[in-house]
Amino acid sequence: MKETVHHNSVSSPEIKKPVLKDKKDVRSQNTHSEDWIDNLNQEQLPSLELSPDSRNQPEFLTTKDENKFRVKLQVFEGPLELLLSLVREHELNINDIPIVFITDQYLEYVNLMKNSNINLASEYLVMASWLIYIKSRTLLPQSDGEELPEEDPEMLRQELQKQLIEYQKFKNLSGYFKVAEEEQSLHFERGGDQEIESIVKKINPEEDGKIILTTFELMNAMKNMLELEDGENVHLIEIEELEVADRQNYILDFIKNLGSEGIAFDKILENKRTLTIVATFLALLELVKRSLIVVFQNHSFSEIRIKKAVLNE
């Protein structure tokens, strides 16, 4: 189940104003460092104190008798933890679980969670259906010797117990891990695990939310700004606007006074920047299209030359 759901006190939907008691009885107690051992030994049982008819008589309950109506649900890590807590609550032997009884208890709890608007994780329902299956196999009369192993109620019960025991072991081991984690958290290695900078900023708790800067940090910031201003790493980029029309005029201008021999194409380029070349070339094509210039070769494989289409002689 999600840990975020209602921690301790959960109201039944039918009841308008649930009386929530013992706010303290939540897992969040763990925050206090000295409490953890107590918590560990505390029985983590669901305390289900629900008067038998409470769900049917909301009015009566919301008015006076606070003590009678108290629903505290514990957040479980999963169906197995819920089952384990039921086993403990009813002081059952984990090696000899009365399957009918535990199934009823389990379903009652699951129903309660459902009625309390807790989003039931599907795992709880899977477990519920398994329990019901085992229960049904247990209650049904058995035919002699015809049972498949997976249908034998005793085998099924054993399997459930095996799972519970296995889970119990690791759950308890995780309790040991928790203790070990707590102990280790009291020790710090050199340098902690934070950057010095953040320590400096955090060391003054009064100034929460403000940016605290030392003179040195301010000077440093200024220095950085000045370095930027120095222009070592700064380049001004001028946007060069090249238009094909401009290049056309430029070409026409360039070859205006040339004779019939014209000029080689590469001579008209004043610089070899890609953009210039492209624009000039496009301009050239445009001029050819408009029959303003002639592109020719004197012979095969010689350089390409351009000249005016109409020579003004």
Partner 1 sequence: MNKDEHSKFELTSDNASSPEESAKALANHQMEAMEELPTTATFDLVAREELEKIENIEELPLIIEEEEAKKIVETLLFASKEPLRARDISVLFRGVENIDSKKIRKILLGLVDEYKDKTFQIVEIAEGFQIRTRSEFHPWVRKLFRKEKKNKLSQAALETLAIISYKQPITRVEVEEIRRVDCSGVINTLLEKNIIKIMGRKDVLGRPIVYGTTPLFLKHFGFKSISDIPNPDEYLSENGIEQNLETIQAMNGNANKNISGDS
Residues that bind partner 1 (CB under 8 A): 3, 30-31, 33-34, 37-38, 40-41, 77-80, 121, 123, 126-127, 163, 165-192, 194, 199, 202-203, 205
Nearer to partner 1, 61 or 160 (CB): 160
Nearer to partner 1, 35 or 66 (CB): 35
Three-state secondary structure readout of 77-110: CCHHHHHHHHHHHCCCECCECCHHHHHHHHHHHH
Nearer to partner 1, 142 or 172 (CB): 172
Task: With CA atoms as reference, report the closest residue to 262 among 305, 201, 297.
Answer: 305
Task: With CA atoms as reference, report the closest residue to 167 among 44, 74, 81.
Answer: 81
Q: Which two tokens stand for residue 159?
A: 């399997």
43-67: b or e for each residue (b if 16 or more CB lie within 10 Å)? ebebebebeeebbeebeebeeeeee
Nearer to partner 1, 97 or 306 (CB): 97
To which residue do tokens 């709890």 refer? 109
Q: Which two tokens stand for residue 156?
A: 């099924």
- Nearest approach, Cβ of residue 207 and partner 1 (Å): 12
- Nearest approach, Cβ of residue 139 and partner 1 (Å): 24
- Nearest approach, Cβ of residue 11 and partner 1 (Å): 24
Nearer to partner 1, 38 or 253 (CB): 38
Nearer to partner 1, 144 or 208 (CB): 208
Report the amino acid identity of residue 292. Answer: L
- Nearest approach, Cβ of residue 24 and partner 1 (Å): 19
To which residue do tokens 């009823």 refer? 104
- Nearest approach, Cβ of residue 279 and partner 1 (Å): 53
The Cα 269–Cα 247 span in angstroms is: 10
- Nearest approach, Cβ of residue 43 and partner 1 (Å): 9
